[in-house]
Amino acid sequence: MVRVKRIYDPPKKDDGVRVLVDRLWPRGLAKDKARIDLWLRDIAPSDALRKWFAHDPNKWAAFQKKYREELKAKKELLRQIKRLEKGSGVVTLLYGARDEKHNQAVALGSLLKRIPRP
């Protein structure tokens, strides 16, 4: 199971493997308080795509399409997350954005849910 959660929300035991999928470390959060198991910054959208999107809900559909295109070159990172899911049962994708509906973790989670486990 793939879940999506804001990194500023308190960690829970049922989060499983906690994977930060932001390119930049979340502001104001100490690394020891984040309780992440893995930081996959390379699976995050490119800087150019991230800046273009700027969390504008009007660009959401186009952002998802462009991000999926970028992810085609990152298949090993997608497989890595799917292996973690298979091993632990739950992977929680963590993000720092304020917008809980329009961010890369939501887009990535949606894609991962359609990929079968290895």
Output the pLDDT for position 116. 74
* Residue 4: strand, helix, or coil: strand
Instruction: Looking at 15-92, list the stretches that DSSP marks H as alpha helix, in order from N- to C-terminal side.
Output: 31-34, 47-53, 60-71, 75-88
Taking a C-beta distance cutoff of 8 angstroms, is the pair 78, 41 a contact?
no
Where is 39: in which H helix or E strand?
strand 38-39
DSSP H or E stretch at residue 60:
helix 60-71
Side chain identity, residue 38? L
Considering only CA atoms, which of 21, 16, 1 is closest in space to residue 74? Answer: 21
pLDDT tens track for 17-40:
999 999 999 998 888 888 999 999
pLDDT of residue 71: 95
The C-alpha atoms of residue 107 and residue 101 are separated, in whole angstroms, by 9
- The mean pLDDT of 100-116, rounded to a whole number, is 91
Kindly indicate the confidence band of residue 5, based on its pLDDT and cuts at 50, 70 and 90: very high
Residue closest to 116 by CA, chosen among 78, 71, 64: 78
Residue-level pLDDT at 34: 85
